[in-house]
Amino acid sequence: MLEAASDDLDALFLELEARSSGTVAAMAPTPQVSESAAERRLAPRREPDQFGREVKLTVRGAAEATTINLSETGILAETTSRLLPGTVVDLLLQIDGVRYLLRATIVRSVVHSLSPRPIFRTAFRFVESTKLPERH
């Protein structure tokens, strides 16, 4: 938000300087869209129930996780512990009894809630794009 306000002020000052010097008003620079605001998803995310009746996720060597949404390129899950971003992990994804073993990189893991116990939202990016089943 401060970055956008700063860009607006820069444009205003450029315009005022151009007017005071008697020249044609300079074109204000086009505001840049920050990377965090830009769409970074490579595939559309869908709710677990769009894939099957029962969707389970386990981070091998860590813990059970609850799937929030998933796509062919990654998965967002709630975990009971913070996982280290940049770490490559094996995920066991089970959809209606069919198991998928997926290798993924942890993109981020942030606190989502604290009560009654800490819950982290953890984003995983699959090492290889994965074709997921459509719900029957």
42-46: long-range contacts (C-beta < 8 A, 24 or more apart)?
42/71, 42/73, 42/129, 43/71, 43/72, 43/73, 43/74, 43/129, 44/71, 45/69, 45/70, 45/71, 45/76, 46/70, 46/71
Instruction: Measure CA 1 to chain center.
Output: 20
Preceding peptide of 116 cis, ω within 30°: yes
The predicted pLDDT at position 20 comes to: 57
pTM for this model (two decimals): 0.63
Tens digits of per-residue pLDDT, 5-35? Answer: 545 666 666 666 666 555 443 444 444 544 4
Tens digits of per-residue pLDDT, 43-80? Answer: 666 666 666 678 899 998 877 799 999 888 999 999 98
Domain spans, the chain: 1-38, 48-126
Tens digits of per-residue pLDDT, 85-131? Answer: 999 999 999 888 889 999 999 999 999 988 888 899 999 999 998 87
Q: Between 2.170.190.11, 3.30.1310.10, 2.40.10.430, 3.40.50.1000, what CATH number should domain 48-126 receive?
A: 2.40.10.430
